[in-house]
Structure 1
């Protein structure tokens, strides 16, 4: 298998193409990565900035340079001994513009259930709504259908290039079924068009008629090419929307199509096809079907067979009907195409205690689990309770994230994914109706039960096999089951128990146990066998529907709602994390690394992604607040009081005398919760080199934060939403932000903000370097998110997807050890140097950090809790990793650190000025030491990151005052000569 030594994530789009990446290959090689790891390379919706809205699985994106450019990039990587891993999106396709860009989707709009691609998409062609039977809901209209039709915004058009009649609405083009072409052409009452109409007479939607329709359409296209578009204008005029009579013709034509145009607001309640989450421009595909699987992966298979790519990253694995079977099929097919095992990782959100399934033949996840671990490790658990109390007092919301999560799940089920909930409930209701014991279970009661189960579900989904849940599934399903039983009335408990059985508990769902036994005997024949098989298939279907409901509910409710409502500490509100879990102990971190090394030693390790809500260095700095919880709580109250005059009435307006908001009212903008989150965000993302006198720099910061603020307010779905934005409130919030950062606040709030950032930023830098070194030295494949080699103080997208100056980063690469850059840490060179030096170590000793054993090391002494240490061992080769953690008290220059450790403080500790270098003064470590492995006691060890060569004493102790003299992190090896 081509296992990457390390990867670097790139985002391709028309502004950063394959040839752009080609120009920077020398930098990527010099940095030390072994593989580039890219966003999807298939053709996406024109102008896509991410590539996850694929419209053509068979073609490399022309906007990104096309296949020739991709192959040039791969060839250049091969010359440098590097490889390529690409993102694959098997769950959904982009349908923006309706059929304008996606030929598969256009075909089902044109031919309905008889389209060659009708079963490629997950469409419910048998909707209980008569208006949608055999149709696809197209929720694309900006206003109700009747209004848009009357305003003339929906029109019949003719595409001379394809010979198609289409329904046009803005950028959307929806193909008219050729069955209607005869009537369209005859409406013009012209002999030549009537002759063309004859070609379409008698057409049906059956597949056998579709080739004749294509021939007739070609004739029409040739006619228009010869006679000009004016020759067809009379047809369009007969269906013009500007006259009541012809508008009625247009409406009747629309009613006959295989799609129903609808106001975009109808999607949540009525959409009859599976979407990606609640995004109506992304339609889910049924990759579980062999023909769809082959079509989706045709390009990937060809590129892998040709040696262009070495592996794949699978996007949103939980959206698939059968993730296990998908992974098995994918690995088998790739393995058949060339020698060696392919590298396969999956994007999977794992809850604490939830394992990646052993029967998925993959190399691990894309690293959200590691990002969660290392992020939680940065936090002081002693800050959890006081920060939660402060948040509840300030915001008026619950101190518990679990409360916010359940509320958010219920809101998403009610307002965003109601149609998906209905579809799952209908599937269960059909099973109930087929059984005499449950035929009186109503649709409403079943919907109520599964709605509560989904609201209480603690993980993304379950993975039943042969209709039964596994023991691992039941660990999490039972939590939801018990919570639902507590919340539902006793009248619903019988329905809940039966739903539990249908969703794979193993309890028999038939009313008569003897009948169930008989059905399962080897004598199954005829109708009985058919009934049993039908029941089993129905159960598997509803289990899939339920799983494809709980996964988007979790994503939308947790990542995109509750994480924007709960503000105890925003550094824990991240993709893949549970904000209710505040901190992780060193022992737990070691245990998780050991488990990862045992089960998935080649899983990715990330601390930044294209989906993160805050840059890795924002989170690292905010984690420091957990160490000074009381101080931060007091600061929040002080700033809120200081900025009270800037509050706006929710309908907007200047903060003049007539719009001043009373201190006791909650009806103001942005409101207490949003204001508290705003302060955290400003503290977290304030650039290290930004001065309060830099008006241009602060204005640029304000614009960035304003983008985050708007998204945060709408995602929270409290006072404004994407579906129904409250623009006056949003504008008032924006005005509040810009008032806070206005030049006239330079000697007020701005200076206080800057001073507070200066107070904590050295501890934040230590956290940043700690998580960087842990990512690069832990078991797994470290991934470097593009540009985050320097400080990453970005916020949620689009801020975290800004252009990267790779030329500047290349110029900053140096042979000096990272310690040489610590004094000038604000420029980020120290972080870049650590990345470069550690990747060089991985190249120099690939087996040590790639396959070596992971050995937690004990730390003792007064400040033992402020250190994490472990060793990597492969044969006789060793690396010892030591990192400073929870450093704020040790840097603060007061007696807190010693007092917390239970020892006497230095006599002059309170007189020390705040630290300006992110390094604990060596003497402050006192007797803190790492207990080294016996094999290393007599060996000479050198720090890979600095000139230090600390000695282990005769008792096997390595004192921190010796090991961390010039850097807050150290990596000790026997070979002290770095390989660049």
Structure 2
């Protein structure tokens, strides 16, 4: 049995659910081992709510989900992995659990209220300003107003014959009753008599008895619409069914992680991905606790399990200029910042003028993405996070009332100031603790307050400065112990936990569905307002990552992405001036010709101009390479995928429809528009396929370069399930569709030559081969890629260099790997049949005298081709960029 590498060489992410179990994954271990992956990277495996497709709605932290096979199946999977010298990295969810039936901890809180042993596990505000809720948990789960739901029989008393207890049935879900209310019910007569006496639909007496019973419970049932205004527990984003955990309490930390630590000690798990680290009260403390616990368990791990610190990465969105805190002692992030950087690198800023003009002329929007994001933040605060805003404002109000000097500050004024700070907050969150803010957080508050000063009331500007002091500008530790310090610390914690979900909901889930200049830049962790990234800036970020977090995860596709990795880079072609001009011409023609397919609704034309333009982009980006327009079943399947995306996109944008109040006439009209577009008689499908064919080869070239950079720049590459072939997926659930592993295993085993792969490039095997070769390269040189340096190579030419060539070296103790890649290839690949490259194609993009300087002398071979050659001086890229627009030279 081969030893499991530490740190991991390469990860492959798999999504587990009832339709893809741990035993299903065990059957694919050989495929991933042959591909060159060192670790599988599993979605959450703890028991989730029945039918969960993602595992983030955990109901039991002490069991492996039986729907994916349970712990026995996990042991079978790990045995297969160990036999191939592989490991397992597990995604865990410390921030929240599912708030509903099946979660014994949550049910105990509903039954016992504040006296429950689990009351401190969940982040519940027992001090609600609403006297009907104070001291209870608000459950906004009713589809109708409270009284109407009771009279309709949707809330009723029932009896559990197995336990002998009375329960409250809300629709089909059984909620517990407080123990102190069980005895009076049993004493009131037979089960049938008690149920009849509390039948609210049978008369006012039954209604009054049922209501009186509910008034004695530790929860209050409410209409679902009250959630955004009044919910009294911290949620994951605005999802009522996911309740926040108080991971800052040691007992909670140990209980939630008990099984995880057991699995690590037994050698079943080798690393962890921490979901939503920003939701925790104190990420620094949590990471320290986690690292110390894993270190203590290290000596218990059995032979065959990798030694060394456990691999730990955190899901963290880093804004421009923001850095992961080194004191967290984690290996890095899950790689959203890399996904942004490589995407921007493959976009061309030169196309911004054409695309800006096109977007503005079609949509009528004159604001940039930053202003659109600010507007979305302001809307989201009121529409979705009123309760969180109120809780944060009340915490700050408590800090104000704790001091004599600020007793005249009103709650209303604090709320006004808080809104403006949150609207202009430039990052997901800050991390002030007992020592207050550090320099990075001070910079963040400087930016937020500068923006807030422009929009806050003149009379509130002085309060704005005071609020920044309360939120960590003055270290709580500098204050004497007592109410003032406690109030400041509480306000700071609540504020910091609130900013991340508000930012994510406003930017990722609202503004990114409104701003349509080029959808390929509207991605998690990206600044959609920045179209392109210069090569020098990309190099600088790679050098920085190598110095700070060399084992950071590198992702280009995730379970959270808005568009698949190849969808994005195909659309990136449209940013190149030649392609942008062609795109503007064709989309203008389409809009004019399809005017008669739009219909008038109460909220305007459907689809709106902006929605129609974003639909065209999606059709172009997601069109499968092998889709024949004449294949009616395949075209219908594609249409269904786009229709599902469109309805979700319209609701996320929150302009003419939304999840909470769907505008079905508008949505149906947009569906009808899409169906008419793709109808055979329309003729649009043939034009769509023809336009995709014009940019497809350039998009595929981008996809190959993107994959190569993920496999060769500093960090640990993560390959999301199915993306070993082309990935033209859309947002979830589209990006979680079943994967055809048999086909992938067959093409990998064939090991076709490059010529054959290029001839059939549309089937995805070409991308798989590139991935395989580079994973094998990493296996041959693990130390070079784990800790070797990253050195940008100088591109020497007598002419102005347009920045199309990416060249760098990875080195370790005399060994070298050279990477050459071309970007912005539309000038020679527009209308091409294949992404095949040649010296002629290179010469068309680069000056003839282009040379790469600084390459160590010696014999090299291109692992993505057949060329071997001695390099003794400056390297001519045209000699190596064949057959692909990327070459990886291995010293031999």
**TM-score of the superposed pair, with normalisation by structure 1:** 0.87
Is the aligned partner of 1:283 residue 2:225? no
Which of 406, 413, 434 lines up with 1:466 in the alignment? Answer: 434
Question: For residues 802 and 594 of structure 2, what CA distance do their matches in structure 1 show?
Answer: 40
Give 1:920 shift.
4.0
Q: Equivalent residue for 1:310? A: 270
Are the aligned partners of 2:435 and 2:475 in contact in 1 as well (CA < 8 Å)?
Answer: no
- Cα shift readout 1:570-610 (whole Å, capped 9, x = no counterpart): 00001111101211111111110111111001110010001
User: Which has the higher Rg, Structure 1 or Structure 2?
Assistant: 1
Q: Where do 5+ consecutive residues of structure 1 fail to align?
A: 189-230, 509-515, 521-528, 652-665, 893-913, 976-980
Q: Equivalent residue for 1:252? A: 212
- Cα shift readout 1:22-55 (whole Å, capped 9, x = no counterpart): 1111111111100000001100001100000001
Q: Equivalent residue for 1:803? A: 738
In 2 relative to 1, CA 507–879 (structure 1 residues): closer, same or farther, beyond 3 Å? Answer: closer
Is the aligned partner of 1:4 residue 2:5? no
Give 1:485 shift.
0.9
Q: Equivalent residue for 1:173? A: 174
Give 1:684 shift.
0.1
Question: For residues 864 and 555 of structure 1, what CA distance do their matches in structure 2 show?
Answer: 35
Question: For residues 884 and 648 of structure 2, what CA distance do their matches in structure 1 show?
Answer: 38
Give 1:936 shift.
2.6
Q: Equivalent residue for 2:25? A: 21
Q: Equivalent residue for 1:632? A: 583
Are the aligned partners of 1:819 and 1:945 in contact in 2 as well (CA < 8 Å)?
Answer: no
Is the aligned partner of 1:868 residue 2:827? no
SS at match of 1:972: strand
Question: For residues 928 and 770 of structure 1, what CA distance do their matches in structure 2 show?
Answer: 22
The farther-off stretch of 461-470 and 590-599 is 461-470
Which of 445, 457, 482 lines up with 1:533 in the alignment? Answer: 482
- Cα shift readout 1:69-91 (whole Å, capped 9, x = no counterpart): 10111111011100001011000
Are the aligned partners of 1:572 and 1:582 in contact in 2 as well (CA < 8 Å)?
Answer: yes
Taking the TM superposition and a 5 Å limit, the aligned residue runs for 1:265-344 are: 265-339=225-299, 340-344=308-312
The farther-off stretch of 806-815 and 47-56 is 806-815
Give 1:143 shift.
1.3
Q: Where do 5+ consecutive residues of structure 2 fail to align?
A: 300-307
**TM-score of the superposed pair, with normalisation by structure 2:** 0.96
The farther-off stretch of 378-387 and 720-729 is 378-387
SS at match of 1:693: coil
SS at match of 2:257: helix
Is the aligned partner of 1:142 residue 2:143? yes
Question: For residues 637 and 371 of structure 1, what CA distance do their matches in structure 2 show?
Answer: 31
Which of 67, 77, 82 lines up with 2:81 in the alignment? Answer: 77
Q: Equivalent residue for 1:702? A: 639
In 2 relative to 1, CA 598–929 (structure 1 residues): closer, same or farther, beyond 3 Å? Answer: farther
Give 1:385 shift.
2.9
Taking the TM superposition and a 5 Å limit, the aligned residue runs for 1:749-760 are: 749-760=684-695
Give 1:313 shift.
0.4
Are the aligned partners of 2:837 and 2:883 in contact in 1 as well (CA < 8 Å)?
Answer: no
Which of 492, 511, 515 lines up with 1:543 in the alignment? Answer: 492
The farther-off stretch of 630-639 and 565-574 is 630-639
Give 1:824 shift.
1.4
SS at match of 2:806: strand
Question: For residues 593 and 339 of structure 2, what CA distance do their matches in structure 1 show?
Answer: 36
- Cα shift readout 1:250-304 (whole Å, capped 9, x = no counterpart): 0110111111111111000000000000000000010110000001100100000
The farther-off stretch of 625-634 and 43-52 is 625-634
Question: For residues 700 and 692 of structure 1, what CA distance do their matches in structure 2 show?
Answer: 12
Q: Equivalent residue for 1:429? A: 397
- Cα shift readout 1:629-684 (whole Å, capped 9, x = no counterpart): 23322322211001111112226xxxxxxxxxxxxxx9210110000000000000
Task: Count matched residues.
Answer: 871
Q: Equivalent residue for 1:946? A: 865
Taking the TM superposition and a 5 Å limit, the aligned residue runs for 1:577-656 are: 577-627=526-576, 628-650=579-601
Q: Equivalent residue for 1:232? A: 191
Question: For residues 751 and 199 of structure 2, what CA distance do their matches in structure 1 show?
Answer: 71
In 2 relative to 1, CA 506–462 (structure 1 residues): closer, same or farther, beyond 3 Å? Answer: same
Question: CA-atom RMSD, angstroms?
Answer: 1.6
Is the aligned partner of 1:54 residue 2:14? no
Q: Equivalent residue for 1:826? A: 762
Question: For residues 101 and 75 of structure 1, what CA distance do their matches in structure 2 show?
Answer: 30
SS at match of 2:566: helix
Taking the TM superposition and a 5 Å limit, the aligned residue runs for 1:92-111 are: 92-95=96-99, 98=100, 100-111=101-112
- Cα shift readout 1:826-877 (whole Å, capped 9, x = no counterpart): 1111000011111111111111222211111122446652211111111111
Give 1:549 shift.
1.3
SS at match of 1:131: coil
Are the aligned partners of 1:316 and 1:347 in contact in 2 as well (CA < 8 Å)?
Answer: yes
Q: Equivalent residue for 2:304? A: none
Are the aligned partners of 2:695 and 2:829 in contact in 1 as well (CA < 8 Å)?
Answer: no
Give 1:533 shift.
3.4
Give 1:399 shift.
4.0
Question: For residues 834 and 636 of structure 1, what CA distance do their matches in structure 2 show?
Answer: 34
Give 1:795 shift.
0.6
Which of 648, 653, 675 lines up with 1:711 in the alignment? Answer: 648
Question: For residues 549 and 929 of structure 1, what CA distance do their matches in structure 2 show?
Answer: 56
Are the aligned partners of 1:38 and 1:86 in contact in 2 as well (CA < 8 Å)?
Answer: yes
In 2 relative to 1, CA 143–929 (structure 1 residues): closer, same or farther, beyond 3 Å? Answer: farther
Give 1:695 shift.
1.8
Question: For residues 971 and 755 of structure 1, what CA distance do their matches in structure 2 show?
Answer: 33
Are the aligned partners of 1:857 and 1:931 in contact in 2 as well (CA < 8 Å)?
Answer: no
In 2 relative to 1, CA 930–876 (structure 1 residues): closer, same or farther, beyond 3 Å? Answer: farther
Are the aligned partners of 1:864 and 1:929 in contact in 2 as well (CA < 8 Å)?
Answer: no
Are the aligned partners of 1:12 and 1:51 in contact in 2 as well (CA < 8 Å)?
Answer: yes
Question: For residues 355 and 532 of structure 2, what CA distance do their matches in structure 1 show?
Answer: 13
Q: Equivalent residue for 2:505? A: 556
Question: For residues 276 and 399 of structure 2, what CA distance do their matches in structure 1 show?
Answer: 29
Question: For residues 841 and 69 of structure 2, what CA distance do their matches in structure 1 show?
Answer: 56
Q: Equivalent residue for 2:515? A: 566
Are the aligned partners of 2:43 and 2:90 in contact in 1 as well (CA < 8 Å)?
Answer: yes
In 2 relative to 1, CA 579–415 (structure 1 residues): closer, same or farther, beyond 3 Å? Answer: same
Are the aligned partners of 1:928 and 1:960 in contact in 2 as well (CA < 8 Å)?
Answer: no
Which of 738, 760, 766 lines up with 2:675 in the alignment? Answer: 738
Are the aligned partners of 2:7 and 2:786 in contact in 1 as well (CA < 8 Å)?
Answer: no
Is the aligned partner of 1:36 residue 2:48? no
Are the aligned partners of 2:852 and 2:876 in contact in 1 as well (CA < 8 Å)?
Answer: no
In 2 relative to 1, CA 648–935 (structure 1 residues): closer, same or farther, beyond 3 Å? Answer: closer
Question: For residues 755 and 815 of structure 2, what CA distance do their matches in structure 1 show?
Answer: 24
Question: For residues 436 and 94 of structure 1, what CA distance do their matches in structure 2 show?
Answer: 42
Question: For residues 563 and 749 of structure 1, what CA distance do their matches in structure 2 show?
Answer: 27
Is the aligned partner of 1:839 residue 2:775? yes
SS at match of 2:695: helix
Question: For residues 930 and 425 of structure 1, what CA distance do their matches in structure 2 show?
Answer: 60
Which of 581, 603, 608 lines up with 1:671 in the alignment? Answer: 608
